[in-house]
């Protein structure tokens, strides 16, 4: 359990929303964009991607950083904190949660695409990720 901020957070029980996504655009100057669960572009991330493009960073860098930002935004959504309200406590808890949760689980390739319309509403329990739970095992759903 992590303490600090207003209240302790039990990160082992944190439900992580799988909403939002990193979308490839095919645009040389904006190769990726980060969107929320409703498909709305996350403006702060778009500004950051413009900075990356202005520095001449390759599309692979945009994708890599974009995936990291997506995990950060999902964490903030899970704890109910807006990106512009996040403090050092959220940064600390996020770093602790990353160590606890590992990589997010996805259903096997065919099952993921067969139910792609509902993937945005799916959540996983971080302890299930640690114990090797998958979408079909009853741990995630």
Domain ranges of the chain: 11-137
**Dihedral angle of Cα 77, 132, 96, 141, to the nearest 10 degrees:** 10
Q: How confident is the model at residue 99 (pLDDT cuts 50, 70, 90)?
A: confident
The per-residue pLDDT for 14 is 83
Residue 26 has pLDDT above 70, yes or no: yes
Q: Are 26 and 36 in contact (CB under 8 A)?
A: no
Which DSSP state fits 134? -
Please tell me whether the overall predicted TM-score, pTM, comes out greater than 0.95 for this model.
no
Cα distances (angstroms) measured from residue 68 to each of 7, 74, 102, 110: 25, 10, 13, 25
């Amino acid at each position: 359990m992590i303490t600090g901020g207003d209240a302790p957070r039990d990160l082992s029980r944190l439900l992580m929303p799988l909403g939002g996504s990193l979308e490839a655009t095919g645009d040389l100057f904006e190769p990726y964009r980060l969107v929320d669960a409703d498909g709305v572009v996350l403006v702060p991330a778009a500004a950051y991607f413009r900075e990356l493009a202005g520095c001449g960073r390759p599309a692979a860098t945009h994708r890599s950083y974009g995936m990291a930002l997506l995990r950060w935004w999902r964490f903030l959504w899970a704890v109910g904190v807006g990106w512009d309200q996040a403090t050092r406590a959220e940064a600390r808890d996020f770093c602790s949660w990353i160590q606890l949760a590992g990589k997010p689980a996805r259903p096997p390739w065919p099952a993921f695409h067969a139910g792609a319309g509902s993937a945005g509403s799916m959540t996983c329990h971080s302890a299930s990720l640690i114990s090797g739970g998958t979408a079909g095992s009853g741990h995630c759903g």
